[in-house]
Amino acid sequence: MNLEQASRQLEALGNPTRLQIYRTLVRAGHAGLPVGGLQERIGIAASTLSHHLKRLVDTGLVTQERHATTLICRAHYPAMDALIGYLADECCADAACVASEAAAS
């Protein structure tokens, strides 16, 4: 994970609509959700949703799988883990953060 990649993933999550999409997918669990299901829950135009989903897929945070005409979307946890790891490394270059981490766990 380098700065550029982290930045792109953070930017992808740094939009309220996209974060809501991601959050909804996480809550859907392993089963995932079709694009239409996301649209019902979130209530935006299908074209807008498709646009946001494309960005999440491009950054690797979401995966898609076809089932006939429906596209199942799933949160891709390894990408999130790597992102969290990168942020933790950034943060924990300083002792103060290590201490606060220890206190939190």
The residues that touch DNA, with contacts defined as CB under 7 A, are 11, 15, 17-18, 34-36, 39, 44-55, 64, 66, 68-71
Q: What is the largest CA-CA distance in the chain?
A: 52
Min dist. Cβ of residue 57 to its own copies (A): 17
Site string for its own copies, 28-67 (x = CB under 8 A): -xx-------------------------------------
| HSE toward the beta carbon, residue 38, CA cutoff 13 A | 33
Q: Which amino acid is residue 29, in one-letter code?
A: G
Q: 69: how many CB neighbours lie within 10 A of its CB?
A: 7
Min dist. Cβ of residue 69 to its own copies (A): 26
Chain positions 68 to 97 lying near its own copies, rule: CB under 8 A, are: 75, 77-78, 80-81, 83-85, 87-88, 90-91, 93-97
Q: How many residues bind its own copies (CB under 8 A)?
A: 41
**Angle made by CA atoms 22, 66, 21, in degrees to the nearest 5:** 10
Whole-angstrom Cα distance, residue 104 to residue 48? 38
